[in-house]
Chain A
Amino acid sequence: MSGITTGSPGDTAKGDAPRGSGTLRSLLGSPIAMTGVILVLLHVVMAVAAPWLAPYSPIATSPLDAIVNPSSSHWLGTDQLGRDVLSRVIYGGRNAMLISVVAAVLSVGIGTALGMAAAYFRGWFDEILMRILDAVLSVPAILALLVVVSVLGAGAPVIVLAATVVYCPAVIRVIRAGAQSVVGLDYVTAARARGENPWATMVREILPNVLDVVLVEFAMRASWIVLLVSSLSFLGFGANPPTPDWGLMVSESRSLLTVTPWAAVGPIIALATLIVGLNLAADGLAKARGIDRITGGA
């Protein structure tokens, strides 16, 4: 990894080490960040390989085996309809994770483009955009989502769009701040003086230098959207009943919490580990690239 030898260690000692490899190394070197990455990877593998991992079908009911406590045949027991809790937990992240990945890609993608543009163009474009964002940011995320979902229905596309609209403003703000510290630098000035296309300048000169912020934003938005989607399901605005979904499972099983706690605790643990994992990974990434974790928004 350190295959780079400069002819002048004395002179370059001040400069940064080559950053790409350095980031990866310090990410791998941090036990906390690695924990996060492993947790997230576990969840991804679980969601993708669910059909092979789950011992039972997640929707097959079996009234005779209903409300069974953990045993050798049902490791996490069964719920009130006799469905295997473990299988439902393994399947239950698919819905929320897919929605959150798509919504996070959209909100971070749009946010990055608009944030860089605001920093690059400044002036009235920046001013108007910021005032719009202020308006959007003043509405609580879950409230906005509830309104949208109750008007337009709880389909996945609706949730994705709503989450994108809700989270985009915070991303724009963060990327704009990051890009502003780059826009004034001489290599951007040089690109302006060459008369480069603004978007080409943004992609070539600015984006590589805010990419760290973008990645951290992505990890954090993804974790928030997972939580948001699960909350919606819990409130009854997300996935519809037979679908295995963590939020829905908690909602359905909470009345049985004293009888078969695992039916509710299982999905809670799954959700918590995913979110903790995403946050640890984001933190580790942020530290590895030497930027502060940006909190705020929802």
Chain B
Amino acid sequence: MDLAKTTTGLQVSGIEVEAPVALVEKLRVSYRAGKRLIPVLVDVDLTVAPGETVAVVGESGCGKSTLAGALVGHLRAGSRIAQGRVLIDGQDLFRSSGAQLRRIRSGTVAFVPQNAGHALTPSMRVGDQIGEVLRFGRGMDKAAARAEAIRLFGLVRLPTPDQLLTRYPHQLSGGQLQRVAIAIGIAGAPRLLVMDEPTTGLDVVTQAGILALLADLRDTLGLAIVLVSHDLGAVARLCDRMLVMYSGRVVEAGPTAELFTAPAHPYTRGLLASVPRITAPGLPVGMTGGSPIGPGTMPGCAFAPRCPFAQQACTHDPVPELTNRPTLTDSRVSACLRTEHVLAQPVWTAQVRPRVPREFGPVLLSVTGLQVDYRSKPDAASGPTVDGIDLEVRQGEVVALVGESGSGKSTIAWTLAGLRRPTAGELTLHPRTAGEAGGTAGTADLTLPAAKRAPQWRRQIQLVFQNADTSLNPRRTVGDAVARPLRLLGLRGREARVRRDEVFADVGLPTSFADRLPAQLSGGQRQRAGIARALAADPALLLADEVVSALDVSVQASVLGLLDDLRTEHQLGYLFIGHDLAVVRGLADRVVVLYLGRICEEGTVDDVFGAQGAGEVNHPYTRLLLDSVMDPMPGAVARIADASAPRTKADEPESAPPPVGCAFYRRCEQRIEGVCNTQAPPVRQPVDGHRIRCHLPLTDLDRSDELVEVR
């Protein structure tokens, strides 16, 4: 809908049938840093009709969270509205008194914060926390509030609501906390729910469950939802309309389906091209580098420096206006001067970095029967944390470990790195071939802790961490961090500096960054520095633990590209740990699916994901994971949401493995009672090298016929 029209319509008649529940007009928010005013949001317009679901997407620092805060009348300390207004149900939030604001917040608009685990008070029972809203917001007495809380907990599909009321937040899982936060959000019976990254940090299966819940709530309660997210899959799945933000401005807005199929702004195109697709067998092409700059720091379009379509005119003031441009449909607006030209170009989303067929070297790492047991004493109710792991990584091969949180992925990596002691199993690292300097002969026993391994073996295995913020010492320069492992190579002084510069070049960081502190680098640069540190010692095997999951999509695409290049260049073997199946499908050669520390399925990427990325013959758990993936394509609905075909008893991961039988049987919809829970599952091989550990016959696991029609 045209923003300007709606605005005037409201002002003139005031009683229009579709009066928007939220209206943001020409909003400009700045914050004061020292003596300067720094704009965060510039000229943002947003209209949300009743019952409508609007997404606000963009990468970190684009101002989307500030917008979400403004919708409930909250600004960060130091920020202020420089211009514009925010109307919720016709009331200007920033001109309302405290009492009015409280009434609006408890009855009309509700906010569900990003991290429910941090947003709930740890020392208060969740029942009391939701009770506060009901008693003070809706004036209920204690008994009525309790009954209502039970109803709401049931509504958000929490199991055993009456028991959950007396739990403390730490006793709930991440997905349950998110559900509690949503229940508190809808407790005041609002007309608009503002959600800040509701699925970030949750497991895929849980994510799918939360999104299904939101869709359900929207339909049954007639809620309008503003979904602030960088997860394009979630947006495609849930939202009617979306706003794309870049550098504090909305650069494109329109119906989700249209934006996904024919993005008109180059930034939207870049975002879509950066998201790995489970349906595409390769890595996303991404967009050209550079980090976003703040609004108002340069003339013209803020995206121009990264834009392949940019012309001279793009870098001159005034900033291109967000308006309906030629060849766009009526409901769409774009801030790109060259909209017509951009729309005429093919969409990059169809492209991926081609996967070249690779030759793998000899075996680098072999693991047989790995068991790690964290339990201090034997316990009949559970088994060891990680058990019966057999793995092989060859030179130049990427083996991915996938699974939900608690599946033992990191434990395996840490054990290989010598930070955990295995309780059983053989872990062997083989020497690299091709007449290497240093001539490492024999093999290394990786059951030894890191400190007891010989230096030439220690350097062969290096860890890359998930969170670039904590993987570098904030008080040490990046160059220092990268140079440190060189001591394992026996390099010091000038030689070490030469090698350091080489590694910096390898990961695409300028040498001048060596003197910088990690805080002076952007997230992507920090992750590159983390990779540089791992590469410095010239390793044979990289243990990459969720290395891209904390990064923005465009940065993620470039880091994935870097990892792919490096393995070809240096014949590295990777043990790549990830929960994002689309990333795994893009980068990995072989996949190992873990559930509660047991291997469910393993095989090549094509075996496990099938030609379409939706699997063919799979373990029920792999199927559950695959079904939960939300491809950023409107219409490509995650099938777990389909109520007619539930494939699991719960969308919440479990925490302790069972002592006997298949680890997955408690959640499996296809389990055979008396077999699955007593006997270890046999290995079934649909093709050579594709191993599925399941009691069900292969014919029951084959779903290839059903898949084609869905995707």
Q: Which of A14, A190, A194, A208 contacts B465 (CB 8 A)?
A: A190
Contacts A193-B418, A193-B450; A186 near B519 (Cβ below 8 A): no
Minimum Cβ distance to chain B for residue A195 (Å) = 4
Contacts A190-B471, A194-B485; A10 near B293 (Cβ below 8 A): yes
Q: Which of B297, B470, B476 contacts A185 (CB 8 A)?
A: B470
Which of B297, B417, B537 is the most central at the interface, judged by chain A CB atoms within 10 Å of its CB?
B417
Is B412 close to A, CB under 8 A?
A: no
Contact B467 A186 (CB under 8 A): yes
Which of A10, A17, A185 is the most central at the interface, judged by chain B CB atoms within 10 Å of its CB?
A10
Which A residues are in CB contact (< 8 Å) with B519?
12, 15-19
A249-279 interface with B by 8 A CB criterion: none
Contact B471 A186 (CB under 8 A): yes
Contacts A10-B292, A11-B60, A14-B61; A193 near B419 (Cβ below 8 A): yes
Contact A194 B470 (CB under 8 A): no
Which A residues are in CB contact (< 8 Å) with B294?
9-10, 13
Contact B470 A186 (CB under 8 A): yes
B226-256 interface with A by 8 A CB criterion: 247
Contact A11 B292 (CB under 8 A): yes
| Cα–Cα distance between A204 and B475 once the two chains are bound (Å) | 9
Which B residues are in CB contact (< 8 Å) with A209?
473-475
Interface stretch (choices B451-459, B595-603, B643-651) = B451-459
Is A243 close to B, CB under 8 A?
A: no
Interface stretch (choices B426-434, B520-528, B625-633) = B520-528
Which B residues are in CB contact (< 8 Å) with A13?
61, 294
B461-495 interface with A by 8 A CB criterion: 461-463, 465-467, 469-476, 481, 484-485, 488
Is A71 close to B, CB under 8 A?
A: no
Contact B291 A7 (CB under 8 A): yes
Is A4 close to B, CB under 8 A?
A: yes
Contact with A along B44-68 (1 / 0, CB 8 A): 0000000000000000111000000
Q: Which of A6, A7, A17, A195 contacts B455 (CB 8 A)?
A: A195
| Cα–Cα distance between A74 and B159 once the two chains are bound (Å) | 84
Closest Cβ neighbor of A17 among chain B residues? B519
Closest Cβ neighbor of B33 among chain A residues? A13
Is A73 close to B, CB under 8 A?
A: no
Closest Cβ neighbor of B418 among chain A residues? A193
Which B residues are in CB contact (< 8 Å) with A11?
60-61, 291-292, 522-524
Closest Cβ neighbor of A206 among chain B residues? B473
Minimum Cβ distance to chain A for residue B504 (Å) = 15
Which B residues are in CB contact (< 8 Å) with A18?
517, 519-520
Q: Which of A12, A19, A189, A190 contacts B521 (CB 8 A)?
A: A12
Which B residues are in CB contact (< 8 Å) with A19?
474-475, 517, 519
Minimum Cβ distance to chain B for residue A238 (Å) = 40
Is A205 close to B, CB under 8 A?
A: yes
| Cα–Cα distance between A144 and B481 once the two chains are bound (Å) | 45
Which A residues are in CB contact (< 8 Å) with B451?
192, 195
Which B residues are in CB contact (< 8 Å) with A204?
473, 476, 484
Minimum Cβ distance to chain B for residue A291 (Å) = 14
Is B533 close to A, CB under 8 A?
A: yes
Closest Cβ neighbor of A5 among chain B residues? B520
Minimum Cβ distance to chain B for residue A6 (Å) = 5
| Chain B, interface residues (CB within 8 Å), range | 35 or more
| Cα–Cα distance between A205 and B480 once the two chains are bound (Å) | 11
| Cα–Cα distance between A16 and B471 once the two chains are bound (Å) | 15
A89-145 interface with B by 8 A CB criterion: none
Which of A12, A190, A208 is the most central at the interface, judged by chain B CB atoms within 10 Å of its CB?
A190
A184-232 interface with B by 8 A CB criterion: 185-187, 189-195, 204-205, 208-209, 211
Q: Which of A12, A194, A208, A211 contacts B473 (CB 8 A)?
A: A208
Which B residues are in CB contact (< 8 Å) with A10?
61-62, 247, 291-294
Which B residues are in CB contact (< 8 Å) with A9?
293-294, 297
Contact B458 A194 (CB under 8 A): yes
Contact A190 B520 (CB under 8 A): no
Which A residues are in CB contact (< 8 Å) with B537?
194
| Cα–Cα distance between A36 and B465 once the two chains are bound (Å) | 43
Which A residues are in CB contact (< 8 Å) with B470?
185-187
A27-68 interface with B by 8 A CB criterion: none
Closest Cβ neighbor of A189 among chain B residues? B419
Which B residues are in CB contact (< 8 Å) with A150?
none
Minimum Cβ distance to chain A for residue B115 (Å) = 15
Which A residues are in CB contact (< 8 Å) with B418?
193, 195
Contact with A along B265-306 (1 / 0, CB 8 A): 000000000000000000000000011111001000000000
| Cα–Cα distance between A19 and B417 once the two chains are bound (Å) | 32
| Cα–Cα distance between A211 and B476 once the two chains are bound (Å) | 13
Closest Cβ neighbor of B31 among chain A residues? A13
Is A72 close to B, CB under 8 A?
A: no
Minimum Cβ distance to chain A for residue B543 (Å) = 9
Which B residues are in CB contact (< 8 Å) with A208?
473, 475-476
Which A residues are in CB contact (< 8 Å) with B475?
19, 208-209, 211
Is A295 close to B, CB under 8 A?
A: no
| Cα–Cα distance between A17 and B474 once the two chains are bound (Å) | 11
Which A residues are in CB contact (< 8 Å) with B518?
15
Closest Cβ neighbor of B552 among chain A residues? A11
| Cα–Cα distance between A246 and B366 once the two chains are bound (Å) | 73
Minimum Cβ distance to chain A for residue B575 (Å) = 14
| Cα–Cα distance between A228 and B452 once the two chains are bound (Å) | 47
Which A residues are in CB contact (< 8 Å) with B488?
194-195
Which B residues are in CB contact (< 8 Å) with A12?
519-522
Which B residues are in CB contact (< 8 Å) with A205?
473, 476
Contact A193 B417 (CB under 8 A): yes
Closest Cβ neighbor of A15 among chain B residues? B519
Contact A187 B472 (CB under 8 A): yes
| Cα–Cα distance between A190 and B464 once the two chains are bound (Å) | 8
Minimum Cβ distance to chain A for residue B189 (Å) = 35
Contact B484 A194 (CB under 8 A): yes
Which B residues are in CB contact (< 8 Å) with A7?
290-291, 522
Closest Cβ neighbor of B468 among chain A residues? A186
Minimum Cβ distance to chain A for residue B558 (Å) = 13
Contact B450 A195 (CB under 8 A): yes
Which A residues are in CB contact (< 8 Å) with B516?
4
Which of A9, A11, A205 is the most central at the interface, judged by chain B CB atoms within 10 Å of its CB?
A11
Which A residues are in CB contact (< 8 Å) with B419?
189, 192-193
Contact A193 B517 (CB under 8 A): no
Contact with B along A139-170 (1 / 0, CB 8 A): 00000000000000000000000000000000
Minimum Cβ distance to chain A for residue B194 (Å) = 21
Minimum Cβ distance to chain A for residue B334 (Å) = 21
| Cα–Cα distance between A186 and B469 once the two chains are bound (Å) | 9
| Cα–Cα distance between A204 and B427 once the two chains are bound (Å) | 31
Which of A4, A189, A191 is the most central at the interface, judged by chain B CB atoms within 10 Å of its CB?
A189
Contacts A19-B474, A19-B519; A187 near B467 (Cβ below 8 A): no
| Cα–Cα distance between A189 and B464 once the two chains are bound (Å) | 11
Contacts A10-B291, A11-B523; A192 near B247 (Cβ below 8 A): no
Contact B472 A8 (CB under 8 A): no
Minimum Cβ distance to chain A for residue B493 (Å) = 18
Contacts A10-B247, A208-B473, A208-B475; A190 near B533 (Cβ below 8 A): yes
Which A residues are in CB contact (< 8 Å) with B461?
193
Q: Which of A8, A189, A195 contacts B453 (CB 8 A)?
A: A195
| Cα–Cα distance between A32 and B518 once the two chains are bound (Å) | 31
Q: A15-B469, A193-B462 are in contact. List 8 more A-B contacts (CB 8 A).
A: A8-B292, A8-B293, A11-B291, A18-B519, A19-B475, A193-B461, A205-B473, A209-B473
Query: Can you report 23 A-B residue pairs in the complex whose CB atoms are below 8 A from each other?
Result: A6-B520, A6-B522, A7-B522, A8-B522, A10-B61, A11-B60, A11-B523, A12-B520, A15-B519, A15-B520, A19-B519, A185-B470, A189-B465, A192-B451, A193-B418, A193-B450, A194-B450, A194-B484, A194-B488, A204-B484, A205-B476, A208-B476, A211-B475
Residues of A participating in the B interface, judged by any CB pair closer than 8 Å: 4, 6-19, 185-187, 189-195, 204-205, 208-209, 211
- Identify the 5 closest CB pairs spanning chains A and B, nearest first: A8-B291, A208-B475, A11-B522, A186-B471, A186-B465
